[in-house]
Structure 1
Amino acid sequence: MECIYCWYWLADLCQQEGIDFVLGHALYMRAIHGVKTKNDRVDSLKIARLIRGGNFPLAYVYPAQMRPTRDLMRRRNHFVRKRAELLAHIQNTMTQYNLESLGSLSRSDRRRDKDIPGHFPDLVVRRIVQTDLQLIDSYDPIIKELDKKILSLATDHDQTSFHLLKSIKGVGDVLALTILYEVGQINRFSTRGEFCSYARLVKAQKQSAGKNYGTSGARIGNAHLRWAFSEASLLYIRGNQKARKYYHRLVSRHGKSKALTIIAKRLGTAVYYMLKRREPFHEQKFLNMNMKQAI
């Protein structure tokens, strides 16, 4: 990760000085010019030949003005995941000692109304749970303050796209901000297929002599976007009768896991066209998509 941020710093410096800067995709470059002997002289020669032949795999240089907010959003999501792990640990501890569940503990008022440590008879276990609760209470104000800060920054960068993303049922501030800052500039994707591939919503087919040999490249792309669209697909279905009917149609043909994957991919396609055309989400168009087009 440190190497990535060094390249970002170099890209910003070259832009300030008016120097042309080309950033190569490390994974694809390694696959193209892997050789037995590796040193700076061999690497520079290989890169020069790739650039001259038009085969140099370019990587996207994220806009400098949006980069700090994107990194802050990723850090915020990291804190949320750590908080979720602590809540899950408390619930798992109840199961471990065969104790009755206290229900959802995500809200602070519910935690205050219940004597959670006293629910455990063992004093040492009480101390473990109490430590988890203290950490959760420490994360809550930090996450709340970060939400306010990121939301205020988003209105300065691309307020229109932010509100367009929120037109999807179930997509709130967090998911809209995640998609907005992970995409950056939608115009860098020439087709919806490129966008869905970058968001890890589709896999590459492996074929030879007209036969399929599975898929590959499932982990190449943006993991944050993949998470955002997976969450969006679940929230879109929740409390939406039309969406649930569409979901059950997919389940009857493909099963639950594949059905959610299809909806996530369809939402990715919808977001691509929404940001390209600057249009809000059209639910009827989304639900009228036939099964073959949905896959």
Structure 2
Amino acid sequence: MQTTKANALYAGADLHGNNVFLSLCDQEGNTVFRKRVKANLAAVNAALDPFWDRIVALGVESTFNWYWFVDGLREKDRNVKLGNPAKMEQYKGIKITNDLTDADWLAEQLRLGIFPESYIYPKETRPVRDALRRRQLFVRRRTQVLLSFGGLLERYGLDAPGARKLEQWTLKDIQATGLDEFVQLQLETLLEAIRESDRLAKKVEQQVLAVAKPTKPYRRPRGVTGIGDALGMLVALESGDFSRFKSAGDYAPYCRAEKSEYSAN
């Protein structure tokens, strides 16, 4: 059947870890199908199989687990749109919200042409970007442990060494503090955690850099004064295809580098 405006359907998928709530509405906004299915492609395709030739688009929120859903359906040439959850707030006066209303709202936004579509990062480079995000996790952990180490020394009236000096500390330096053996145990384990976090961060950084360094998106930000390897990778991999930004003015808000302002009357 050829999809026409009269028989067009719009689909919403409220995606969870173990299930997906599907909803379809027609051109007039009438709900024609609702069903909760297991969170796998076979179940989703089976439920929507009678409707695919009429579905104009299927919308799903950018949740933590959208990869398998969006990638799998797009490989079947389904028109899947990824939505920005921060921009699709439902009517505030609604008394009850649940999976059903969430799926309905996704479909309704597609019907009305107001679906806040998000960029779908290329599947082939997504793991590289995500690996760099894991590096940030280890860097944050290293900073947290450094602060904990310094705070522990200061608790007992000792000066906390800077990060560079701390890198040179050994078990002898800890013993030289003369603190209680269990305090020394804390310092020893914290020191190990700092070095392990640093090791893991560098491991990820080196492997990601090997992939990113030869690419043009990495070389462009590296030409800016003050942007080194780590920040260059971050800019390139989090931005994706730079050509999707028409100008620097379009790119700045994406980076949250533009001040927000609200005014009325």
**Which residue of 95, 110, 124 maps to 1:36?**
95
Question: Using a 3 Å threshold, how does the CA distance of structure 1 residues 34 and 150 change in structure 2: closer, same or farther?
Answer: farther
The Cα shift of 1:95 comes to 2.1
Give per-residue Cα distances to partners, 1:152-171, cap 9 Å, x unaligned: 12146xx1221221122221
Q: How many residues align?
A: 206
The Cα shift of 1:71 comes to 1.0
Q: 1:71-220, aligned counterparts within 5 Å?
A: 71-105=130-164, 108=167, 110-112=168-170, 115-155=173-213, 159-209=215-265
The Cα shift of 1:48 comes to 3.8
Question: Using a 3 Å threshold, how does the CA distance of structure 1 residues 194 and 56 change in structure 2: closer, same or farther?
Answer: same
Q: Percent identity?
A: 29
Do the aligned residues in 1 keep the contact of 2:217 with 2:242 (CA within 8 Å)? no
**1:182 match: secondary structure:** helix
Question: Using a 3 Å threshold, how does the CA distance of structure 1 residues 39 and 31 change in structure 2: closer, same or farther?
Answer: closer
Tell me the residue number matched to 1:4. Answer: 63
In 2, Cα distance between equivalents of 1:117 and 1:195: 52
The Cα shift of 1:146 comes to 1.5
The Cα shift of 1:18 comes to 1.4
Unaligned segments of structure 2, at least 5 residues: 1-15, 18-61
The Cα shift of 1:173 comes to 0.8
**1:23 match: secondary structure:** strand
Do the aligned residues in 2 keep the contact of 1:14 with 1:21 (CA within 8 Å)? yes
Q: Using structure 2 for the length normalisation, give the TM-score.
A: 0.67
> Partner amino acid for 1:207?
S
Indicate the structure with greater helix content.
Answer: 1
Question: Using a 3 Å threshold, how does the CA distance of structure 1 residues 87 and 39 change in structure 2: closer, same or farther?
Answer: closer
> Partner amino acid for 1:180?
A
Aligned Cα RMSD in Å?
2.8
The Cα shift of 1:177 comes to 0.6
> Partner amino acid for 2:88?
M
Q: Which protein is bigger by CA-based radius of gyration?
A: 2
Unaligned segments of structure 1, at least 5 residues: 210-295
**2:82 match: secondary structure:** coil
Tell me the residue number matched to 1:21. Answer: 80
Give per-residue Cα distances to partners, 1:103-139, cap 9 Å, x unaligned: 434664x224971342242322111111101222322
